[in-house]
């Protein structure tokens, strides 16, 4: 029996309301858990690329070259994400949000499990890193497709005054995934000697992704597609768009580029903190692997609170103010961030990462609803996914590689701080030039749907 999000005949209004509330709570939980495991699989690779893969898949390279090669394979997932977003957007706008989400979650689980089964370079030579890149690319395709589907399942099924908060259940999955991936790595590393961890222990976190298939089965059996998409299918006056990608690029190309810019601050600082910092801290600052992982893990707890709060606040005051504050905050914090990291003091690094996470969450929380509301329902999956995933290839994937290369070239973190400052200012400027999707007049109207006035 699928979760009912429409009104069944023959029920009282109170019964229908209670049924809808229960159904939506289950949908929020399914979205949070499914997306968390999806991002766990994706982020796990970043941790391994910083700490394990240089030794396992590039054992004959120097330490610096091995790290750069590992981060290059890390980047392959981000190269694939826009492709996954385009394919999933087209299918999701034509055939529904739910089937695409189910397919993406299943593909991600399979790819991550297979990474845990790969032979090392010592056993298979060049075939090992080749297979690693292929599976990372598949991970990227799945990650690129699932984000738009999850957040649209959540926001399009929510009441118009709770879309900002509902969308954060997809966004909050990111810090949940960071906590899970780091916690599993810390536990695996603590329970065995380093030699055993590098030999086979690193595989355990990847093999655990098999639990994804239980989530896939639940969503397939229990969750309906969104009311807005089903309305598109029913109403001849608003037919499903035959070529949604071409339509949204033609009509909203500038909006897509500005939407991509919105994510610059959060994506750059986030991947510095969860991947680039691990490599720099263990390689250049001489910090212990598990101690640094623990710092990132504890810092991520701040995101668990800030993301839902920022989404909820965006329902009350609008989306743009929070994104503007967050982008400017990242720009201002960039130099203090690296100044604190450079002390090699774990408490000060914790302060640097935590404050940075709070600023980036002010932008990341409202973005799920904001990006979707910028586009009409018939092209929403395509438009929101393309904007989100373009930032992945331009900013996210290259940031750890760029950080490592800049520090190696200059011997200093200040060029990386300049880069983060620029990313924060790009987010600020992008939000400045985009329209508010939830302005005061829409918030005051109990029946108005955020974003509808723009289409």
Q: Which domains does the chain have, with CATH numbers?
A: 26-223+252-445 (1.20.1250.20)
Check pLDDT > 70 for residue 151: yes
Higher pLDDT, 213 or 164: 164
Q: Tell me the pTM.
A: 0.83
Cα–Cα dist 260/253, whole Å = 11
CA distance 202 to 295: 20
Question: What is the C-alpha to C-alpha distance for residues 42 and 359, in angstroms, rounded to an integer?
Answer: 23
Which residues are paired to 223 by β-bridges? 3
pLDDT band at 333 (very low <50, low <70, confident <90, very high): very high
pLDDT at site 177: 85
Q: What is the pLDDT of residue 336?
A: 97
Q: Look-up: residue for tokens 């002010």?
A: 362
Q: Tens digits of per-residue pLDDT, 103-135?
A: 998 999 899 999 999 998 888 888 988 999 899
What would the mean pLDDT of 69-89 be, rounded to a whole number? 83
**Lowest mean pLDDT: which of 12-16, 241-245, 321-325, 342-346?**
12-16
Q: Do 50 and 279 form a contact (C-beta atoms < 8 A)?
A: yes
pLDDT confidence band for 58 (50 / 70 / 90): confident
Highest average pLDDT, of 156-160, 211-215, 431-435, comes from 431-435
Q: What percent of the chain has pLDDT over 90?
A: 32
pLDDT of residue 345: 95
pLDDT value, residue 19: 67
* Count, residues in the chain: 455
Q: Residue 239 — pLDDT band, cuts 50, 70, 90?
A: low
Which pLDDT score, from 0 to 100, does residue 311 have? 94
Q: Which pLDDT value is given to residue 448?
A: 81
**What is the pLDDT at residue 240?**
63
Helical pair 163-171 and 346-373, crossing angle rounded to 10 deg: 130
Burial of 370 by CB count in 10 Å (0-12 exposed, 13-18 middle, 19+ buried)?
buried
pLDDT for residue 138: 92
pLDDT of residue 1: 39
Longest CA span, the chain = 72
Query: Do residues 232 and 378 touch, judged by C-beta distance below 8 A?
Result: yes
DSSP-assigned states of every residue in 345-395:
-HHHHHHHHHHHHHHHHHHHHHHHHHHHHTS-GGGHHHHHHHHHHHHIIII
Task: For residues 86 and 383, give the distance between their C-alpha atoms in angstroms, rounded to a whole number.
Answer: 9
Instruction: Please tell me the predicted confidence (pLDDT) of residue 427.
Output: 97
Nearest to 381 by CA among 95, 90, 171: 90
> Could you report the per-residue pLDDT of 190-213, keeping only the tens digit for each?
888 888 888 888 898 889 888 888
For residue 276, give the nearest of 162, 379, 369, 402 by alpha carbon.
Answer: 402
- d(CA 365, CA 177) in angstroms, rounded, equals 15
Per-residue pLDDT averaged across 179-192, rounded?
A: 81
Write down the pLDDT at residue 78: 78
189: helix, strand or coil = helix
* Residue 220 binned pLDDT confidence (cut-offs 50, 70, 90): confident
Question: What pLDDT score does 352 carry?
Answer: 96
Asked if pLDDT for residue 236 goes beyond 60, the answer is no
Tokens of 442: 């829409």
């Amino acid at each position: 029996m699928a979760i009912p999000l429409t009104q069944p005949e023959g029920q009282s209004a109170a019964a229908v309301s209670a049924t809808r509330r229960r159904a939506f709570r289950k949908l929020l939980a399914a979205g949070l858990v499914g997306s968390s495991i999806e991002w766990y699989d994706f982020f796990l690779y970043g941790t391994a690329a910083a700490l394990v893969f240089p030794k396992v898949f590039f054992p004959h390279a120097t330490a610096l070259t091995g790290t750069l090669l590992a981060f290059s394979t890390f980047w392959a997932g981000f190269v694939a994400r826009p492709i996954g977003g385009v394919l999933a957007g087209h299918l999701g706008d034509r055939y529904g949000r739910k089937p695409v989400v189910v397919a993406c979650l299943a593909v991600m689980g399979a790819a991550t499990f297979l990474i845990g089964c790969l032979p090392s370079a010592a056993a298979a030579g060049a075939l090992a890193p080749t297979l690693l890149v292929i599976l990372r690319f598949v991970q990227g395709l799945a990650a690129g497709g699932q984000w738009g589907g999850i957040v649209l399942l959540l926001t399009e099924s929510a009441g118009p005054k709770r879309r900002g908060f509902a969308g954060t259940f997809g966004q909050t999955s990111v810090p949940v995934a960071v906590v899970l991936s780091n916690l599993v790595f810390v536990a695996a590393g603590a329970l065995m000697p380093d030699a055993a961890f590098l030999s086979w222990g690193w595989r355990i976190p990847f093999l655990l992704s098999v639990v994804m298939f239980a989530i896939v089965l639940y969503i397939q059996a229990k969750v309906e597609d969104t009311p807005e998409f089903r309305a598109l299918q029913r109403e001849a006056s608003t037919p499903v768009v035959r070529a949604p990608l071409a339509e949204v690029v033609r009509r909203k190309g500038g909006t897509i580029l500005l939407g991509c810019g919105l994510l610059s601050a959060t994506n750059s600082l986030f991947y510095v903190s969860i991947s680039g910092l691990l490599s720099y801290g263990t390689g250049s600052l001489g910090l212990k692997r598990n101690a640094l992982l623990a710092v990132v893990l504890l810092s991520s707890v701040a995101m668990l609170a800030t993301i839902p709060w920022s989404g909820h606040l965006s329902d009350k005051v609008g989306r743009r103010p929070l994104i503007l504050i967050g982008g400017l905050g990242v720009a201002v914090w960039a130099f203090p961030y690296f100044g604190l990291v450079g002390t090699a003091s774990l408490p000060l690094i914790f302060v640097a990462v935590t404050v940075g996470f709070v600023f980036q969450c002010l932008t990341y929380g409202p973005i799920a609803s904001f990006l979707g509301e910028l586009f009409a329902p018939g092209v929403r999956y395509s438009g929101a996914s393309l904007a989100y995933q373009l930032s992945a290839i331009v900013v996210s994937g290259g940031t750890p590689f760029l950080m490592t290369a800049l520090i190696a070239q200059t011997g200093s973190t200040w060029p990386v701080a300049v880069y983060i400052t620029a990313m924060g200012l790009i987010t600020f400027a992008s939000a400045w030039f985009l329209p508010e999707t939830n302005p005061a007049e829409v918030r005051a109207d109990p029946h108005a749907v955020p974003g509808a006035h723009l289409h």
